[in-house]
Chains A and B, each alone.
Chain A
Amino acid sequence: MEVQLKLYGSSKILSDKEILNIELPNNSNIETLRGVLSKIISKKYLKNSLQNLSKTAAFFSEKDEVVNDSYKLKNKELISIFPPIGGG
């Protein structure tokens, strides 16, 4: 399966595009996505700039809510990644 990860804040370093398509095993949840994301960060040599992102990020569904690690992802689902925030 595949999810579309909409990038915000520092996660935009991961791609030149606004959305990053990520391949996941079938029946994945947010916890699986965190693991895969951590591998992508290592692969792209971005550990220094995106340290802990896979642990500290929150994920926001199309239903406009922050979802927890047990949230089951659907194939082609659009999900937003929220790195730690700092507006104002």
Chain B
Amino acid sequence: MTLHAAIVKTEKEKISSEKAKNFILSEENGAESIFVGRVRNENNGKKVTAVTYDVHDKAVIKSFQSICFEAKSKFDSNASIFLEHAKGYVSVGEISILIAVSSGHRDEAFKICRFILEEIKHKSPIWKKEHYTEGNEQWLPGHSLRPKEEIK
């Protein structure tokens, strides 16, 4: 198996980079690229304490698989991909997303990693609610999944 795509419910477990490294390890692939996204303590001048991620599980898994298959067909069909995204409350400093890729060569490994991240931001139904030090919270704006030509 060369693809692992999952949603990690944060009240039960954490995203593990060790698990990702073991998954992508392959004698055929000489290059590894790992992207780790963590919750930052500041956004637009506001002090952030945590982010809650809301996810439509089924649609997200479907989009993850489609994005990863597209990445493999575009850049390297022998690539191994590990992709996990958090669901639920994630404190500052904790991992929200992890993408690990092993590929034949470094260029493809970097490209696949970047491609997956950008596609997720535009295609996977995931929403972020930021929690601030003042005790308030806010859902962040994002990209509409409705076709542009239909928005009047």
Chain A residues engaging chain B, CB cutoff 8 angstroms: 8-10, 12-13, 49, 55-58, 60, 64, 66, 68-69, 80, 82-88
Q: A55-B152, A58-B144 are in contact. Are A9 and B54 (CB under 8 A)?
A: yes
Sorted from nearest, which 5 A-B pairs have the closest CB atoms? Answer: A87-B126, A9-B127, A86-B142, A10-B139, A58-B145
What is the number of residues of chain B that contact chain A, defined by CB distance less than 8 Å? 35
A85 near B151 with CB under 8 A, answer: no
Chain B neighbourhood of A55, CB < 8 A: 146, 151-152
Chain B residues engaging chain A, CB cutoff 8 angstroms: 37, 53-56, 58-60, 62, 85, 96-97, 117, 120-129, 139-147, 150-152
B contacts with A: majority SS: mixed
Q: A82-B56, A85-B127 are in contact. Are A9 and B139 (CB under 8 A)?
A: yes
Least Cβ–Cβ distance between A73 and chain B, in angstroms: 17
B145 near A85 with CB under 8 A, answer: yes
B142 nearest CB neighbor, chain A only:
A86
